[in-house]
Structure 1
């Protein structure tokens, strides 16, 4: 993408204080977009990012574990930018949902239920609620784009401790396809991106040397690779990719 390719675009990026979200905010801002940087607990990271980028950046706070937050986040971002053209649902968390605790089956049952509730809310329901706000808004303003961050786990499932995470991401993948099919005639395009291991704080603690040696490129994906794809999709230069899922795994997982 070239500088200025997103000039005039107004983009809301959730979970943008660090990691993939921060890389997305930097990239779309570089290309000329106005960006609403959503954050929850990492105010320092979001503030530092806003200071780094300078103009055309707005900070939006909201806790997406709260079912009411999506409406408030959308309203705040839309007010700050005078509207939203593109929603990037990046916020999420890899939350365990253990079948049972080793020393207490009852406690394990509670952890199972809590894990499912948290995964569904953060990785699916909050994104669905933001998609709803986007669709209501886009229908009145000639369309827009929705880019949902899913995971390779949406295709292959996740490990035994994270069954709920994989199921939630699969739900988000299906939601994206349904939006593309149901709202394309209103000018709405919807895309899903399914990364594997990405070079963020989470990967640094979870990718062992053995795992790294087994990756085809012998490296985890740089977050900038995901960000460049988001910028391209947000540009409107490939509208007929709507409904597609694009895997960004360095060939670690292929379909």
Structure 2
């Protein structure tokens, strides 16, 4: 483990890419706050694994699509671990595969609220604490998007793709907004990754389609996240990095 880097908050950190990122960041010297909404047992296991890597770690329950809970989340992390130096804006959801003509307003509200509204709320809370314009010491925000934002996910998840395209716009716009305030904003677009976000059989059907002819592992995405959160990426902002096997 490297020398301590500070405190990082990972939203949706109890499983999948969020869990892998939490472990990679702990290995990289961060103290880690693992946010979860419902999966307390899974979050506790991630915390234990972070601690085994030498990090201080806590699990904090909050629905990051709710502004009041986002504020409580940030306040809890700061009180228990200290000032937050990086935020991994990772919480996300998909609905069952379907065509746009089949979507209803309830589905769209859920997907955009969890994937897009939450990303804005978390990013805003992070800026209010990190930005030198608000009295902060600077920091890094890493927004987790999806390669679907570029590909469109026709016939399956066009709503998810659109919600993540909005996250890409957030990364670009916010990076320019706070670049002179000590805050860097970056993004990661994972491709087909071995997590439980996929419906059964989807990875079997599509996993060999990237040029690298396999799905990715959460740990492969996590290593890029850890790099972007660190000072190793100090001359990067406003950039979204594809981790998609060339797809």
Q: Report if the CA contact (8 A) 1:28-1:231 is conserved.
A: yes
Q: CA deviation at 1:236?
A: 1.5
C-alpha separation between the residues in 2 aligned to 1:73 and 1:36?
A: 9
From 41, 48, 51, the counterpart of 1:51: 48
Deviation digits for residues 134-180 of structure 1 (CA, Å, limit 9, x no counterpart) = 11111222211000000112122122342221111111110111111
Q: Report if the CA contact (8 A) 2:100-2:158 is conserved.
A: no
Q: Unpaired runs of 5+ in structure 1?
A: 102-110
2:198 matches 1:199:
no
Question: Which residue of structure 1 aligns with residue 120 of structure 2?
Answer: 128
Question: Which residue of structure 1 aligns with residue 106 of structure 2?
Answer: 114
Question: Which residue of structure 2 aligns with residue 20 of structure 1?
Answer: 17
C-alpha separation between the residues in 2 aligned to 1:143 and 1:181?
A: 14
Residue correspondences, number: 240
C-alpha separation between the residues in 2 aligned to 1:210 and 1:100?
A: 24
The 3 A distance-change label for structure 1 pair 8 and 189 is same
Q: CA deviation at 1:233?
A: 1.1
C-alpha separation between the residues in 2 aligned to 1:48 and 1:121?
A: 27
2:23 matches 1:31:
no
SS state of the match for residue 167, structure 2?
Answer: helix
RMSD, aligned CA: 1.8
Question: Which residue of structure 2 aligns with residue 244 of structure 1?
Answer: 239
From 1, 4, 13, the counterpart of 2:2: 4
Pair member with larger Rg: 1
Q: Unpaired runs of 5+ in structure 2?
A: none
Deviation digits for residues 83-124 of structure 1 (CA, Å, limit 9, x no counterpart) = 1000100110112475455xxxxxxxxx51011111111101
TM, length-normalised to structure 2: 0.90
The 3 A distance-change label for structure 1 pair 219 and 78 is same
Question: Which residue of structure 1 aligns with residue 90 of structure 2?
Answer: 90
2:77 matches 1:77:
yes
From 166, 172, 176, the counterpart of 1:171: 166
C-alpha separation between the residues in 2 aligned to 1:242 and 1:46?
A: 30
Question: Which residue of structure 1 aligns with residue 221 of structure 2?
Answer: 226
From 164, 176, 184, the counterpart of 2:179: 184
The 3 A distance-change label for structure 1 pair 213 and 237 is closer
C-alpha separation between the residues in 2 aligned to 1:61 and 1:210?
A: 35
Deviation digits for residues 13-64 of structure 1 (CA, Å, limit 9, x no counterpart) = 0111111111001111011110000011111101122223325001110123
Question: Which residue of structure 2 aligns with residue 106 of structure 1?
Answer: none
C-alpha separation between the residues in 2 aligned to 1:48 and 1:238?
A: 29
Q: Does 229-238 or 9-18 show the bigger shift?
A: 229-238
Q: Does 70-79 or 203-212 show the bigger shift?
A: 203-212
C-alpha separation between the residues in 2 aligned to 1:232 and 1:95?
A: 30
